[in-house]
Amino acid sequence: RAGKTYSYIEEMEQLPGQVSYFSAAEMAKTPDLILAGEGYLLPAVEGVCTAGSTYGANGETAEVTTRGHQEILETLQRWQSWLASATPAGGWAGYRAVLKDHLPLYAGSDQNLAMLSALGSNGFAWSAILAEDLAAAWNNEPRLLERDLSRALGLR
């Protein structure tokens, strides 16, 4: 980050996580919009709703498990009671790239080249605000990020 030599490779962690798939035909109800809060449930695509997700520790293996499905269901049922009858029909597991300080890797230049990575589980939020901030920088407009966050990201 700002003011120090920073080795992103040494600071990078891979955190495993799982999503669950649900057959829309077998669900009591399916969302028309993305439902997000403590977890998320996506509208059906080709008859399948995707819900997520679990979050493991660095060094754990990414795999689809019954326990992962149960964790996702418990999270979603806290705010969507109609999911009580849902049964997972499969899933996917993979890794999130994160830095140890859990801030994203964000680097932009005045040559219209940028890097945005290590978003962890906050990609929906970070990608939008950082893209807007980058566009403001490239167009010589006021930056959107507060000064302390900009400094933490190594931008100012």
Please say whether the beta carbons of 34 and 124 come within 8 A: no
The C-alpha atoms of residue 16 and residue 60 are separated, in whole angstroms, by: 7
The count of other CB atoms within 10 Å of the CB of residue 133 is 21
Secondary structure element (H or E) that encloses residue 18, with its range: strand 12-23
User: Which residue type is seen at 48?
Assistant: V
The C-alpha atoms of residue 37 and residue 109 are separated, in whole angstroms, by: 33
Q: Walk along the chain (156 residues) and give the pLDDT tens digit of each residue.
A: 444 445 666 778 889 999 999 999 888 888 899 988 888 999 999 999 999 999 999 889 999 999 999 999 998 888 777 776 788 999 999 998 888 888 888 776 666 777 888 887 777 788 888 888 888 888 888 888 888 888 887 765
The C-alpha atoms of residue 30 and residue 86 are separated, in whole angstroms, by: 10
